[in-house]
Every structure is written in structure tokens, then in C-alpha cells.
Amino acid sequence: MPTMPKIIIQNMNAVEFSADTKKSLLQNILDEQIDWLHSCGGKGKCTTCKIIIKDGAKNLTPKGSVEKNFFELEKLKENERLACQCSLKKNTEEDAKLIICAAEENKLPHIDYSEC
């Protein structure tokens, strides 16, 4: 039976939670009541929900046209994705996980971030 993959936010004191593969990363983060910047409301029109991937990129769904456009415009680097535009793949691996950080330019002032 497939297990729920985990999301670990490294620079938020390594908060860890199970992810619903039917939802975007952003929606999973918000469902955990974690404050995460998303100025356009998760519609893929900005890059404020950007995540920095530290480990587990293989567990993400492929880049769609919205993200590919931001890569072409050099608004995203190879180790960055938009949390509103990707989700974790269904995975049978027992330890499937994604380790991410909030991007420096998108950190919220009321949150105490650790090192990434």
C-alpha cells in the first residue's frame, strides 16, 4: 500500500508533515496552517510561493508550462519550483520525502527562520 510522502521545511525548524499527492505543495503547506507567501493566490502568476529544493526533486511532478516560462525568464533556478504549480508524485517508497526551504526574498517578517 502506498505511503504518504513527507514534506520537510528545513528552514522552519525542520517542520515535517505528510503530503496529499492530489494537492499542490502550496495547498499542503497551507493545510498545515503554515504561513507561506503566495501573492497571486496560488495561480502561477508570480514567484512568491517559490521553494528551494534541498532533496527529493525526483518526487515532484514534472514542470508545466507556467514553471517552464519562469525558467526561461530566469525567474526560477534549477533547484527552485513554484509551490502552487507542483505536487508530490504518488510513491510506493516507504521514505519518499521532499526537503525544501523558503526562499530568502519570500520570507515573512513574523516567522523565525533557521539556516537552509
Taking only the tens place, the pLDDT of each residue in 4-13 is 889 999 999 8
CB contact set of 116 (below 8 Å; sequence gap of 6+): 10, 11, 52, 54, 101, 102
Cα Rg of the chain (Å, integer): 13
The predicted model gives 60-71 an average pLDDT of 96
CB 9 within 8 A of CB 15: yes
Which residue ranges form the domains of the chain, and what is each CATH number? 6-106 (3.10.20.30)
Portion of the chain with pLDDT greater than 70, in percent: 94
pTM for the full model?
0.92
pLDDT-derived band at 2 (thresholds 50, 70, 90) equals low
pLDDT-derived band at 95 (thresholds 50, 70, 90) equals confident
Mean pLDDT of the chain: 93
CB contact set of 69 (below 8 Å; sequence gap of 6+): none
**String of b and e for 9-48 (b: at least 16 CB within 10 Å)?**
bbbbeeeeeebebeebbbbbbbeeeeebbbeeebebebbb
pLDDT-derived band at 96 (thresholds 50, 70, 90) equals confident
